Chain A
Amino acid sequence: MTGSTKPSLSLGRRRFLQGVGLAGAAGLAGMPFGRAFAAEPEKPTEIIVRAWGGSWADSLKAGVSDPFTKLTGITVRHDLTEDNEIQPKVWAAVAQKRVPPIHINWDTTTNATKSALRGVTEDLSDLSNLAGVTELAKPVGLDGYPIVNTYGYVYVLAYRPAAFPNGAPKSWKDLLDPKFKGRIALYNDGIGFHFPAQVAGGGKLEDIPGNMQPAWDFIAKIKEQEPLLGEDPDFTAWFQKGEIDAACTISTNAREAKANGVDIAWTVPEEGAKYDTDGLWIPKGLPENELYWAKQYINFAITKDAQQVWLDGLGLPGVVPGVNPPADLVGDPSYPTTEADFKKLIRISSKVQVEHESEWFGKFKEIMQG
């Protein structure tokens, strides 16, 4: 093969120069396509956002995901795995130094705080639109912005007026009426119910978490009513199919059933109802370019326009000033805006919830499993 070296070298050089020329041309040609500024990183084919199903994912799609896709061309996919179930998968991925299964987690603030304390969240302090949000957006007790709170909500007592001829139930204790046996529903981990149960059971909020026995006693009484236990879409489905008359659930789910033609109303009983926030966070371990675009998504989610459409669908108060409540929710207890509204609501610090939530879930489950 010695004879052929020289010709192959010269051929090689020519080919090499051709190649460089082509590459240069391709590079120059590729630059302007689909980019607003030369500094933007490469766009991923899709962004995966974990979301709750039903009207939750639909509202996010209408308010944030679809406009984001229109703006940037990146498809947004909603993963409907439950928040509690994605958590160990994300933690495992970060611990095993893999790319996490999702780009953005739309999570409860309590869960997000757990992840933040564990160190698996990316810092979001550099988002430009944080300048225009209210205090509510900042997580309490954490440095910087490992998560961005996006709205608040109330775990109301939703009910079918037809089953309550004497008007709205005044107290959570009204659910103990024997005629509601098998006709009430709760979240399957009891979330949103523990704190009102404490008061309904005769206890005091100040005793949380020290002495929650009144809550457990009340929940044991509720157990005798054989409640159905489920997650967000279940409440809507159960109301629509006439399986339940009352539930302790987020107003969004009841509102969706109402939009589908079922007569539903909701109220904050005298013992109060739990108020909490949800937020968005990004797990560690994403490639640089995907991290950049995930941040852009969250940045977009806290603009006034995105919040308006998103929260119109959810019927919940947001974190950007100037977002108006939907017409049917002005003055509604599930859309607290004034001091007076908040007086009726129960707010427990994230710190306490993070430390004790697992224990409360376990105790609730133990009672409910019989």
Chain B
Amino acid sequence: MKGDRSKAVTLWTFVTVALVMLSAPTLVVLGASFTAGNMITFPPEGLSLKWYAAIAGATDLRDAFLRSLIVATICTAISIPTGTLAGIALAKYRVRFAAGVQVYLLLPFTVPLIGSGIGLMLIFGKWGLLGQLWPVGVACAVINLPFMIWAVTASAASLDPDLELAAANCGAPPLSTFLAVTIPAVTPGIITGALLMFILALNEFLVSLLLVDARIVTLPVQIYNSIRSIITPDLAAISVVFIAVAAIAIALLDRLVGLDIFLKSK
């Protein structure tokens, strides 16, 4: 039918434009990393794996990547208990001043990243915590906490309260009910949230820029500093490694929970 065709054409034009915008940088970086030349160009001049060999030997990039992993792990470890408890509390209980608490917990969203970063830089500085890696993990947990809470509440909102009543009816004391009924029910949300937090912390750029220095530099900051210097294809190679990690995380997310969870209405 004519109407349907014009609709399809219009929609697909927009979608194609969007797809190009989303994928072009990824493809370019991927392609440029295989170049046999010395400059980043796309299409690459010849194909070679030499830049991957170069980063395998580049201890500073490797160390930076390791540090990013540590930061992401600390961030996830902190945010899982914190975010899960808060998410369940908000979704299940009738809390007084719920709206106020929500606004408070949304602060990391409403306060711009530069503001949070600088605020944390100032107080960490005052407490003498700068120059170490774990405060960066804590900072990442703080600024991304709403994502975790959001993922858990989305899951918890669909939790049938009757399940817990049934458990109590069978004689389960409250803690057992929590561990055996509530937590498993919100597990998809916890997993989604945890993966999100991990990847967000792995990629965290601005707050890391403010909190790290040469001794504890994380990978995104290292790449940024190197970009402001000469852009050589080894940066493309390390970015491809990053892309690979992201792809694995997405595959994991899909496997465990299903990417469709992000389409669900609340």
CB distance from A135 to the nearest CB of B (A): 32
Q: Which residue of chain A lies nearest to B209 when distances are taken between CB atoms in the complex?
A: A85
Q: Which one, B39, B130, B228, B229, contacts A98 given CB within 8 A?
A: B130
Q: Does A66 interact with chain B (Cβ within 8 Å)?
A: no
Q: Does B226 interact with chain A (Cβ within 8 Å)?
A: yes
Q: Which residue of chain A lies nearest to B231 when distances are taken between CB atoms in the complex?
A: A237
Give the number of A-B contacts (CB < 8 Å).
56
Residues of A within 8 A of B215 (CB): 48, 101
Q: Which one, A53, A93, A237, contacts B226 given CB within 8 A?
A: A53
CB distance from B232 to the nearest CB of A (A): 10
Interface size class of B (residues with CB under 8 A): 10 to 19
Q: What are the interface flags for B130-159 relative to A under an 8 Å C-beta threshold, 1 for contact and 0 otherwise?
A: 110000000000000000000000000000
Residues of B within 8 A of A50 (CB): 214
**Complex CA distance for A238 and B62, rounded to whole angstroms:** 29
Q: Which B residues form the contact surface with A (CB < 8 A)? A: 39, 60, 125-126, 128, 130-131, 213-215, 217, 225-226, 228-231
Q: Determine if A237 and B228 form an interchain contact, defined as CB atoms under 8 angstroms apart.
A: no
Q: Does A81 interact with chain B (Cβ within 8 Å)?
A: yes
Interfacial residues of chain A within 83-125, with CB under 8 A of chain B in the complex: 86, 89, 92-93, 96-99, 101-102
**Complex CA distance for A82 and B39, rounded to whole angstroms:** 23
**Complex CA distance for A77 and B230, rounded to whole angstroms:** 17
Q: Does A305 interact with chain B (Cβ within 8 Å)?
A: no
5 pairs, CB–CB < 8 Å, chain A vs chain B: A79-B213, A92-B130, A93-B213, A101-B131, A101-B215
**Complex CA distance for A77 and B215, rounded to whole angstroms:** 10
Q: Which A residues form the contact surface with B (CB < 8 A)? A: 48, 50, 53-54, 57, 77, 79-82, 86, 89, 92-93, 96-99, 101-102, 231, 233-234, 236-237, 240
Residues of B within 8 A of A82 (CB): 228
**Complex CA distance for A133 and B215, rounded to whole angstroms:** 32
Q: Determine if A96 and B128 form an interchain contact, defined as CB atoms under 8 angstroms apart.
A: yes
CB distance from A229 to the nearest CB of B (A): 13
**Complex CA distance for A233 and B126, rounded to whole angstroms:** 35
19 further A-B pairs in the complex, CB-CB below 8 A; given A54-B230, A80-B228, A89-B213: A53-B229, A53-B230, A54-B229, A57-B229, A77-B60, A79-B213, A79-B214, A79-B217, A92-B125, A92-B130, A93-B213, A96-B128, A96-B130, A98-B128, A101-B213, A101-B215, A231-B228, A233-B228, A237-B231
Q: Determine if B228 and A236 form an interchain contact, defined as CB atoms under 8 angstroms apart.
A: no
**Complex CA distance for A98 and B129, rounded to whole angstroms:** 9
CB distance from B136 to the nearest CB of A (A): 14
Residues of B within 8 A of A98 (CB): 128, 130-131
**Complex CA distance for A323 and B128, rounded to whole angstroms:** 45
Q: Determine if B225 and A81 form an interchain contact, defined as CB atoms under 8 angstroms apart.
A: yes
**Complex CA distance for A97 and B128, rounded to whole angstroms:** 8
Residues of A within 8 A of B225 (CB): 53, 79-81
Residues of B within 8 A of A236 (CB): 230
Q: Determine if A101 and B214 form an interchain contact, defined as CB atoms under 8 angstroms apart.
A: yes
Q: Determine if B128 and A80 form an interchain contact, defined as CB atoms under 8 angstroms apart.
A: no
Name the residue among A80, A97, A99, A231 with the largest chain B CB count within 10 angstroms: A80
Name the residue among A54, A77, A89 with the largest chain B CB count within 10 angstroms: A89
Q: Which residue of chain B lies nearest to A231 when distances are taken between CB atoms in the complex?
A: B228
Q: Determine if B125 and A80 form an interchain contact, defined as CB atoms under 8 angstroms apart.
A: no
Residues of A within 8 A of B214 (CB): 48, 50, 77, 79, 81, 101-102
Q: Which one, A89, A96, A237, contacts B230 given CB within 8 A?
A: A237
**Complex CA distance for A166 and B4, rounded to whole angstroms:** 64
Name the residue among B125, B214, B215 with the largest chain A CB count within 10 angstroms: B214
Q: Determine if A80 and B60 form an interchain contact, defined as CB atoms under 8 angstroms apart.
A: no
CB distance from A261 to the nearest CB of B (A): 11
CB distance from B250 to the nearest CB of A (A): 32
Q: Determine if A99 and B231 form an interchain contact, defined as CB atoms under 8 angstroms apart.
A: no
Residues of A within 8 A of B217 (CB): 79
Q: Which one, B125, B130, B229, contacts A233 given CB within 8 A?
A: B229
Residues of A within 8 A of B126 (CB): 96
Residues of A within 8 A of B228 (CB): 53, 80, 82, 231, 233-234
CB distance from B66 to the nearest CB of A (A): 15
Residues of B within 8 A of A234 (CB): 228
**Complex CA distance for A240 and B228, rounded to whole angstroms:** 15
Q: Determine if B131 and A99 form an interchain contact, defined as CB atoms under 8 angstroms apart.
A: yes
Residues of B within 8 A of A237 (CB): 230-231
Contact A80 B226, CB 8 Å, known A92-B130, A96-B130, A101-B131: yes
Residues of B within 8 A of A240 (CB): 39
**Complex CA distance for A357 and B92, rounded to whole angstroms:** 58
CB distance from A5 to the nearest CB of B (A): 43
Name the residue among B39, B126, B215 with the largest chain A CB count within 10 angstroms: B215
Residues of B within 8 A of A53 (CB): 225-226, 228-230
CB distance from A358 to the nearest CB of B (A): 19
**Complex CA distance for A186 and B217, rounded to whole angstroms:** 29
CB distance from A253 to the nearest CB of B (A): 11
**Complex CA distance for A98 and B127, rounded to whole angstroms:** 11
**Complex CA distance for A98 and B60, rounded to whole angstroms:** 23
Residues of A within 8 A of B230 (CB): 53-54, 233, 236-237
